[in-house]
């Protein structure tokens, strides 16, 4: 069964001591982490993923790598998290059947696509306004409720989620809660 809390790393928000921030997140009891790097070279991303694998293993936490299936396999990660425009989940299944496959959905169409393609779960975002994607209009709880009813795979609410809003997300169909700043507070 997938953990209910899903921390996504962010090198800006995690600050100078990235690993200290990751340990703080894990100390809070988070047991599923997505290493998400958009600006690193493949080499740097691989090296960072190796370290993330060591630390998450200390806490028996699942580690998913954003986008890079090759790096996920090379470091022994538990899974990969695919961007909406990334490789199709079915392609990852051909590469390695038992990887956990997450998918970033931003509307009903992409949520249904992820499910049909065999993703294990989706993040649906942004539910609320978030400074990390200021350009994106928040979807809101009604959309979360509607999409959670229309897909059978777990839906993690993501984007602008605070501790006060978690209960509302569950009430509106979320399987779990994903976020960056939530777990750093
Ligand atoms: C450079 C870059 N920035 C943002 C994204 C967002 O893609 P998305 O579908 O939201 O998936 P995540 O990577 O955010 O999980 C991107 N693909 N590339
Ligand atoms: C990676 C990502 N994808 C959609 S919103 C987001 C970041 C969410 O950050 P926060 O939980 O701090 O709002
Ligand atoms: Mg995104």
Please give the tally of structural domains in the chain. 1
66 lines ligand 1 (CB under 6 A): yes
- Write the pLDDT tens digit of every residue in 142-170: 999 999 999 999 999 999 999 999 999 99
**CATH number of the domain bearing residue 150:** 3.20.20.70
In a domain, 127, yes or no: yes
- Write the pLDDT tens digit of every residue in 18-46: 999 999 999 999 999 999 999 999 999 99
In a domain, 57, yes or no: yes
CA distance readout (Å), 94 to 1, 57, 88, 102: 22, 26, 10, 15
Contact indicator for 133, 152 with CB cutoff of 8 Å: no
* Ligand 1 atom at minimum distance from 81 CA: 15
pLDDT bucket at 99, cuts 50 / 70 / 90? very high
In a domain, 126, yes or no: yes
Q: What is the pTM of this model?
A: 0.97
- What's the token pair of residue 139? 């979807």
* Ligand 1 atom at minimum distance from 39 CA: 1
9 alpha carbon, closest ligand: 2
Range of the domain at 80: 5-179
In a domain, 185, yes or no: no
82 lines ligand 2 (CB under 6 A): no
DSSP 107: S
- Write the pLDDT tens digit of every residue in 41-89: 999 999 999 999 999 999 999 999 999 999 999 999 999 999 999 999 9
* Separation of CA 107 and ligand 1 centre (Å): 14
Residue nearest to ligand 1 atom 16, measured at CA: 83
Q: How far apart are the first and last CA of the chain?
A: 26
132 lines ligand 2 (CB under 6 A): yes
Does ipTM top 0.90? yes
CA distance readout (Å), 145 to 141, 150, 159, 172: 6, 9, 15, 5
124 lines ligand 2 (CB under 6 A): no
In a domain, 184, yes or no: no
pLDDT bucket at 185, cuts 50 / 70 / 90? confident
82 alpha carbon, closest ligand: 1
């Amino acid at each position: 069964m997938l953990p209910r809390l899903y921390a996504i790393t962010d090198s800006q928000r995690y600050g100078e001591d990235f690993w200290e921030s990751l340990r703080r997140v894990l100390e809070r009891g988070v047991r599923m982490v997505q290493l998400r790097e958009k600006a690193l070279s493949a080499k740097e991303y691989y090296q960072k993923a190796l370290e993330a694998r060591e630390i998450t293993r200390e806490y028996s936490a699942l580690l998913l790598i954003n986008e890079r299936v090759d790096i996920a396999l090379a470091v022994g990660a538990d899974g990969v998290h695919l961007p909406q425009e990334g490789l199709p989940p079915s392609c990852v299944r051909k590469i390695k059947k038992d990887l956990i496959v997450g998918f970033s959905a931003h509307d009903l169409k992409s949520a249904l696509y992820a499910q049909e393609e065999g993703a294990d779960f989706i993040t649906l975002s942004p539910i609320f306004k978030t400074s990390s994607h200021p350009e994106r209009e928040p979807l809101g709880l009604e959309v979360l409720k509607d999409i959670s009813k229309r897909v059978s795979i777990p839906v993690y609410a993501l984007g602008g989620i605070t501790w006060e809003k978690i209960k509302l997300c569950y009430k509106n169909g979320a399987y779990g809660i994903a976020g960056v700043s939530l777990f750093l507070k």
